[in-house]
Structure 1
Amino acid sequence: MQLDKAKKRIAKQVNKGFDGYPQITLAYFGTTADCATEVVVGFIAEEGAEVQEQRFTSSSGDVRQDEAIQSVLVKIIERANARTVTEIVQ
């Protein structure tokens, strides 16, 4: 999947806002706001359920510009049938 296409699909899900569960949270971490070297994907199946997390890191730069990682995030969102996707940049 192309990087731009993956980013647009994720942005479309994020822009829909809260629509119930299951919920996916994408938390980007890095040394600066401009370069996120890690993304933590949180999955919540239902209200009150424990969060399941998976981490992806990039040693070559920003994970938001890594086509492979962005494509994996899209697949995770699709396979989880996520109704809500939120994005956090730290």
Structure 2
Amino acid sequence: MNVDKAQKRIEKRVKRGFHGYPMISIRYFGPTAELATKVEVAFIEQEAAEPMVENFSSTGDIRKDETVQTTIIKIIDRVDAKTVTLDEKITLQLK
């Protein structure tokens, strides 16, 4: 799956809003507000449950990494997430 198609599928799920659990939360991190080099994908099975977190990192912009974006889609599909949230801002990582 190409990057654009994967991003569109993620965006479509995000736009649906809250539909209950299980839920996937996606947050990007990077050294600047324009460059994301890490993504955190959190899976929350039910309300008040401890999230299970998976991190991926890249030397370039991870939002343009086809493998990572396709993997996020596969995680969403595998857990049958009813809700997907995406933090649009890149959280700055201080070294």
- TM-score bracket, shorter-length normalisation: over 0.9
Tell me the secondary structure at the aligned position of residue 18 of structure 2. coil
Gap regions ≥5 residues in structure 1: none
CA distance in 2, matches of 1:14, 1:6: 12
Q: TM-score, normalised by structure 2?
A: 0.91
Matched, 1:20 2:20: yes
Which whole-Å deviations, capped at 9, do the CAs of 1:20-75 have from their partners, x for residues lacking one? 0000000100011211000000000000111100000001x111000110000000
Tell me the secondary structure at the aligned position of residue 69 of structure 1. helix
CA distance in 2, matches of 1:69, 1:9: 14
Percent identity between the two aligned chains: 51
Tell me the secondary structure at the aligned position of residue 73 of structure 2. helix
CA distance in 1, matches of 2:6, 2:47: 28
- 1:2 Cα deviation after fit: 0.8
CA distance in 2, matches of 1:33, 1:75: 27
CA distance in 1, matches of 2:75, 2:31: 25
Q: Which structure 2 residues correspond to residues 28-47 of structure 1 after superposition, within 5 A?
A: 28-47=28-47
After the TM superposition, which parts of structure 1 deviate over 4 Å for at least 4 consecutive aligned residues? none
Let me know the Cα RMSD of the aligned residues.
0.7
The number of residues matched between the two structures is: 89
Q: TM-score, normalised by structure 1?
A: 0.95
* Structure-1 residue corresponding to 2:68: 69
